[in-house]
């Protein structure tokens, strides 16, 4: 069996997702760059080709739109017949809306949960049949959810915790972590690997390009 995997990275036209698409494509995998805005996605694909000489594929995918998700599943199944890895990277932060637990912005919370929690769940559910179809003992399928330190209750309760006034993002990612654990337990018997990864505080569009500890490309250079 080929070691080349078919990988989908949601919300990957910028930031961490974009860098991850580049890293995976450089390893020879068939990588789908997904974004809800078609032109932004196509521009990102062209940029990777121009800067890195790497070919990646684009699929339009809005994780809050069930019809968009179904169309993306159909496209990848038609073109590839399999999906080995799903990276749930798409997310919003609403960090521009400073709100505490005692003065919450309910609209910000609803919108953030719709993308970060419901979006992750319904995207994973839709792609699960294709992941199951691709799953073998030699090449287990993988579901990877991009998380954050702020999703950890123990971290946020410690002296190192920060950004306590971004309730929508923090609570949504904590909920996503709980879903990740439940999904991992539910799929354990099928040997489909489910994990969450925390890349560290990274300067991206999600947080208004705040100074971060590191970028994936920096990690790549030092690896």
pLDDT in tens, 75-125: 999 999 999 999 999 999 887 877 789 999 999 999 999 999 999 999 999
- Specify the pLDDT at position 151: 81
* Domain membership flag for residue 218: no
Distances (CA, A) of 53 to 48, 56, 194, 215: 7, 10, 31, 21
- Specify the pLDDT at position 185: 98
- Specify the pLDDT at position 203: 44
- H/E stretch holding 107 reads helix 106-113
* Domain membership flag for residue 219: no
The pTM of this model reads: 0.87
Contact present, 95 and 169 (Cβ < 8 Å): yes
* Domain membership flag for residue 1: no
Burial class of residue 148 (count of CB atoms within 10 Å of its CB; 0-12, 13-18, 19+): buried
- Specify the pLDDT at position 220: 36
- Specify the pLDDT at position 204: 47
- Specify the pLDDT at position 214: 42
Contact present, 174 and 117 (Cβ < 8 Å): no
Whether 169 sits among the annotated catalytic residues: the reply is yes
- Specify the pLDDT at position 2: 61
- Specify the pLDDT at position 96: 80
CATH number of the domain residue 28 falls in: 3.40.50.720
117: which 2 tokens?
């929690």
CA–CA distance, 152 with 47 (Å, rounded to integer): 35
Which listed residue (18, 58, 169, 179) is catalytic?
A: 169
Taking residue 102's Cβ as centre, other Cβ atoms within 10 Å add up to 7
Domain count, the chain: 1
Domain of residue 107, residue span? 6-212
CB neighbour list of residue 121: distance below 8 Å, 6 or more residues apart = 179
- List the chain residues with pLDDT less than 50: 1, 203-204, 206-223
* Domain membership flag for residue 223: no
């Amino acid at each position: 069996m080929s070691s080349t995997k078919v990988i989908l990275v949601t919300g990957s036209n910028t930031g961490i997702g974009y860098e991850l698409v580049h890293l995976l494509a450089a390893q020879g995998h068939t990588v789908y760059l997904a974004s809800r805005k078609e032109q932004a996605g196509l521009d990102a694909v062209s940029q990777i080709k121009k800067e890195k000489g790497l070919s990646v594929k684009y699929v339009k995918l809005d994780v809050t739109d069930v019809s968009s998700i179904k169309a993306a599943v159909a496209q990848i199944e038609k073109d590839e017949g399999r999906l080995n890895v799903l990276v749930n990277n798409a997310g919003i932060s609403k960090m521009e809306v400073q709100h505490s637990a005692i003065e919450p912005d309910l609209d910000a919370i609803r919108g953030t949960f719709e993308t970060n929690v419901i979006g992750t769940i319904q995207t994973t559910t839709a792609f699960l049949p294709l992941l199951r179809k691709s799953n073998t003992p030699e090449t287990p399928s993988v579901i990877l959810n991009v998380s954050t330190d702020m999703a950890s209750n123990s971290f946020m309760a410690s002296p190192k915790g920060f950004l306590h006034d971004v309730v929508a993002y923090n609570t949504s990612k904590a909920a996503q972590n709980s879903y990740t654990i439940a999904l991992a337990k539910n799929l354990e018997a099928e040997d489909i690997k489910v994990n969450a990864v925390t890349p560290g505080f990274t300067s991206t569009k999600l947080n208004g390009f705040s100074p971060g500890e590191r970028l994936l490309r920096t990690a790549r250079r030092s690896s």
